[in-house]
Structure 1
Amino acid sequence: MMNESGNAMFFVRINGVLPDVSGAAAGEGGGAHTSISVFSGGFHLLVDAGDGVADSVKKGASDLGYKEEPDAILVTHGRREHVSDLASFSGKIFCTSECAGQIAKELPQVDKSRFATVVVPGQPFEAGPFSIVPVAADNAGDSPGFPGSVIYVIRAGDRKVIAGWDFISLQNASADLMWNPDLAVLGTETYNDHPSTGIISVTQAYHLVKTWNAKDCYVLHYSGEKDKEDAKNQWHRGPAGPLSPEELQKTVDSYLRMAGQDNKISIKVARQGMVWRPAAGTTVESAAEDDDSSPVGNKIEIEALEKYVFGIEKMPGNRLMFVLEDSISRQESEFVNPRRKDSDGSSLHADAIKSMMMKGPELDLTISGTTVKTSIIKGKKPLFAGDIRVSERDAKKLSRYIRENF
């Protein structure tokens, strides 16, 4: 499949949003249980196949023109509501050994020859154009969790999607692995934290989106039933019961505005049949290009490949602001007399601000290939010293920023 710019199509469809309760309680008039399809170059990767998913996928194929039969199926865990439609498909099944045992017990009609590579948390595997890393998930709440439960980090080229539902915590999920997904699809049972559900809340999703630096997020699986317990607390000011999808979206939007994140974070309440595509102009092919014809301006922000977002701003009075942010903290440092140390824009130095009472830090920044070597030192004490990995495109853009401004 091709998009308007002629690049191979990459998109994600929401096949179902329902939690493990009735459709009415979930604020929907029925539908399919939690599931998504991820497409790249015509390859159809299905994640979970519970009640109603086969019909939803069939309708999506009719509406969008893709092939109905998935090429591969990822299963997060063996709860019946996530596997009951597996027999309606014929594609290869990828899951943990514990999950395979649960499926064999629940659905003996599923042909055992369909089970492909045994999924092991932390060990990457391939399915068509996708590179996939399973992450061990704990979904134990009031009832025992399902052994072998995982969520999936799915890559196709430079694209990354996190398919994560039915978990209250993740085990051994490295910050670099989860960092900077194009899309995170998160299952959220309640708005407020209720660990007894075994599933994260919308409130916890806010934190994960910021921690992972997710560009876009869909929340699904919501019921809000457990939030009724919060009505008993007279001091509680959050939602105290189920919200319709429209009400939940308004609540999410209001939170993001109050937190000052509405221009930085996009969180949508997922509906069955929704389709996500990368923003226009951010295809894998165009992202590899560096357009030298347009000026960078006096401010630049770069998302590193791992862990960091950093920004540089040339300020009035021959000053420079450098901002470094990770999932935990934000560091702002101001300098004077910024200047490049070579003609090609591969290095930048800025002096410390001096006053009668103190002397600030100084900055040294060097671009070496796709590594930005950064040193912020105050006296002999390093405030930050490390190598920040960036894309080839961003390395070129940063060099051009230095050449144009200093």
Structure 2
Amino acid sequence: MGSEIAVRVNGTLPAFSDFGSDNERAGEVESNPAMKVNTSCSLIIHENGKPTKHILVDTGNGVCNSVKQACNDLLAGRCVIDAILLTHSHPDRIDDLSLIVKEFDNVHVYCTQNCWNDVIKKFPDLQSIQHTSVEAGKTFEIDSVRITPVSVQHSNDALGSVAYVIESEGRKIIFGWDVLTFQNPNDPLLKGADLFFIDTFTYNPHPETNHLSVLQAYDLLKIWNPKEAFFINYSGFADFKNAENPYARVPKKPMTSDELAAQVMSDTIPWGYGWNERVKVASHGMVWRSTKQIEFMSPQFSEDMVKLFTEQNYVFSIKKGKKALEVTAETDIKNISYEFIKYDVESEGRRIAATTKGGFLAKPLQMLLEIDDSSDPAIVKIKVGGGTNIKMIDQDVSYQKDIHVKRVHADRLRDFLMKLTS
């Protein structure tokens, strides 16, 4: 099977106080407790399918529990942290460090000396743990993994702040959040990464926040040209200040995760060369793999409903209502809802054709869902379009998506569809 690198996003948020209140972004965070984890990633190296190395980047609030959730899945029971890299010493990057030291054995922390001095001031009990001071521009190795700290400017009370460039198995992965400026943005080391996580605290530039913005990140990514980049650490609260500025780019308020993803998609489509597929918004729990890119979320099943997730974590759901089959399709722009009053399940649950009621002037809509389980992962092919019968569906397609699921989940989906007719 060879080697593989996986990167799990443990959390995506800056300090929780950075969201303000009475705005949609703050409401999204407060209403989703599982999402309340400060920005952090785990880099895991697998050899022949087994995890052999786990490097954790930053240990802010909620990170310990998030990492423990991955122990039985991504880490396959190897609940070990081989190294911790700290970008700087702000509370939203170190708050869970003491807890992690208690929960995990033989923790070894790597950070700049300025950062470590601040850590010890906050957690005096940690003076005895393994620690190695690192310097910006000086590469060090953990076994065969090459790690180079890169000097960044964040804020006056975060001296010694760095981003990390990690090179292993022929791949280059960069973790660069909590950054106002990269000291040398033309450094060749920053160019051509396989994966780049970049700070995007606001949409419009707000240097007073000591962070990069989405618009600034676009300019940097065009220089660095990574194969794939994820925006992370978004607050958006300072964008309220742009409401009174007629020259500011929209939006002029904090965005929810879905709104930010839709905005980034619309921004990058005109760039061409597939940039809209290369630049995305990181989500909590997301896993990137060097061999197969984004890992698809498992479907969610209940007695009368199933939810399927696309690679961007948008949802396609089917629910058996009292009088109709209720279908919702979340896209990067909006949600679409349908009610199909007639439906037929065929091919042992591998195919369902459904029709809406239509109206006096409106044509009925047709839905065709087919499961191709000839390989693993299986493919769920969904198409919704206008027409008086299923053969006319291609004439006016309003929604179309291929969703990858594990074969075991495809079998459960077939069982669910078969029960719709009972």
Taking structure 2 as the reference length, the TM-score comes to 0.61
> Which residue of structure 1 aligns with residue 124 of structure 2?
108
> Which residue of structure 2 aligns with residue 33 of structure 1?
38
Q: Distance in 2 between matches of 1:200 and 1:237?
A: 15
Q: Distance in 2 between matches of 1:164 and 1:204?
A: 13
Task: State the Cα distance separating 1:261 from its structure 2 match.
Answer: 4.7
Structure 2 residue 60 is matched with structure 1 residue 50: yes
Structure 2 residue 82 is matched with structure 1 residue 71: yes
Structure 2 residue 70 is matched with structure 1 residue 60: yes
Aligned residue-pair number: 272
SS at match of 1:209: helix
> Which residue of structure 2 aligns with residue 306 of structure 1?
none
In the TM superposition, what are the counterparts of 1:4-403 in structure 2 within 5 Å?
A: 6-22=1-17, 25=26, 27-28=28-29, 29-30=32-33, 31-41=36-46, 42-66=52-76, 67-87=78-98, 88-89=100-101, 90-116=106-132, 118-140=133-155, 144-172=156-184, 174-263=186-275, 266-280=278-292
Distance 1:210 1:174, change over 3 A: closer
Q: Distance in 2 between matches of 1:159 and 1:74?
A: 18
Equivalent pair of 1:175/1:212 in contact (CA under 8 Å): no
1:232 corresponds to which letter in structure 2? E
SS at match of 1:25: helix
Q: Deviations over 1:28-79 (max 9, x none)?
A: 2242101001112320000001110000000112332442321000000011
Task: State the Cα distance separating 1:204 from its structure 2 match.
Answer: 1.4
Q: Distance in 1 between matches of 2:205 and 2:111?
A: 28
Find runs of 4+ consecutive structure 1 residues off by over 6 angstroms: none
Q: Distance in 2 between matches of 1:263 and 1:19?
A: 26
Task: State the Cα distance separating 1:265 from its structure 2 match.
Answer: 5.4
Q: Distance in 2 between matches of 1:171 and 1:114?
A: 29
Equivalent pair of 1:86/1:110 in contact (CA under 8 Å): no
Q: Distance in 1 between matches of 2:255 and 2:149?
A: 32
Q: Distance in 1 between matches of 2:221 and 2:60?
A: 26
Equivalent pair of 2:265/2:276 in contact (CA under 8 Å): no
Q: Distance in 1 between matches of 2:41 and 2:278?
A: 18
> Which residue of structure 2 aligns with residue 297 of structure 1?
none
SS at match of 1:93: strand
Task: State the Cα distance separating 1:21 from its structure 2 match.
Answer: 2.6
SS at match of 1:36: strand
Any stretches of 5+ residues in structure 1 without a counterpart? Answer: 1-5, 282-406
SS at match of 1:64: coil
1:17 corresponds to which letter in structure 2? T
Q: Identity, % of aligned pairs?
A: 36
Q: Distance in 2 between matches of 1:138 and 1:26?
A: 30
Any stretches of 5+ residues in structure 2 without a counterpart? Answer: 20-24, 47-51, 294-422
Structure with a larger share of its residues in helix: 2
Distance 1:64 1:279, change over 3 A: closer
Equivalent pair of 2:107/2:129 in contact (CA under 8 Å): no
Taking structure 1 as the reference length, the TM-score comes to 0.64
2:109 corresponds to which letter in structure 1? I
Q: Distance in 1 between matches of 2:136 and 2:210?
A: 19
Distance 1:26 1:268, change over 3 A: farther
Task: State the Cα distance separating 1:26 from its structure 2 match.
Answer: 7.9
